[in-house]
């Protein structure tokens, strides 16, 4: 395998990761604000008043929908990139990458479930946890592989996935759980970008 082909395939994945990571972080900022504005408008409607947030509330809603679309598009690009990347690797490494690809598919399903108001939030959370555990297994195999040129990047990705699992568990702590999970998730997304950046820049053998 030549370095040009390796760089081409990993760049597709990196771009997808970049898109959904930035979209997710931005959504985490705008969604609570949009929810606050929506709550204010709901309370005002009970009193017979017009919407106090006006166009700002509508703009925030549109921004959130755009960011959700960005998250979905990022996942799709990543999934497609992982499929083509796995096809150029050694058989064992290709299977590990395919495990990561299936994990991203599950993660996308979890995101979709969270968007459905009639589905309890815990369902999407459990599906997402299963997806991250699958990522841990895939990245764990790649970081130990002697034939995978990006093993150092896979080790970073393993740590990122582990932080997400820890954050998921900490979310159950009253008062500070949400804050701790959010902090670890942001760190995990940064490490995910760094990890795939290392893989992208690795010298393929």
pLDDT tens digits, residue range 135-176?
999 999 999 999 999 999 999 999 999 999 999 889 888 888
Q: Which of 26-30, 49-53, 62-66, 130-134 shows the lowest per-residue confidence on average (mean pLDDT)? A: 49-53
Rounded to two decimals, the pTM is 0.85
In whole angstroms, what is the distance from residue 124 CA to residue 118 CA?
A: 12
In the block, tokens 């999934």 appear at: 79
Which residue, among 80, 79, 98, 77, has the nearest Cα to 89 in the 3D structure?
98
Domain ranges of the chain: 3-200
Average pLDDT over all residues of the chain: 88
Q: Of 105, 56, 59, 77, which Cα lies nearest the Cα of 13?
A: 77
Q: How far is CA 17 from the centre of its chain?
A: 7
């Amino acid at each position: 395998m030549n370095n040009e082909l390796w760089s081409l395939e990993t760049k597709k994945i990196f771009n997808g990761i970049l898109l959904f990571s930035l979209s997710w972080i931005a959504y985490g900022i705008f969604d609570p604000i949009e929810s606050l504005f929506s709550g204010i408008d709901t309370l005002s409607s009970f009193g017979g008043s017009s919407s106090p947030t006006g166009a700002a509330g509508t703009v925030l809603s549109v921004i959130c929908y755009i960011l959700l679309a960005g998250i979905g598009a990022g996942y799709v690009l990543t999934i497609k990139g992982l499929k083509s990347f796995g096809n150029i690797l050694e058989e064992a490494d290709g299977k590990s990458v395919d495990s990561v690809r299936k994990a991203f598919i599950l993660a996308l399903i979890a995101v979709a479930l969270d968007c459905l108001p009639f589905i309890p939030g815990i369902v999407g959370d459990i599906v997402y946890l299963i997806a991250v555990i699958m990522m841990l297994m895939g990245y764990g195999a790649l970081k130990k592989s002697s034939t995978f040129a990006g093993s150092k990047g896979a080790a970073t990705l393993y740590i990122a996935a582990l932080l997400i699992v820890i954050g998921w568990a900490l979310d159950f702590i009253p008062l500070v759980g949400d804050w701790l999970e959010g902090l670890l998730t942001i760190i995990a997304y940064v490490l995910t970008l760094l990890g795939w950046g290392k893989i992208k820049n690795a010298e393929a053998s």
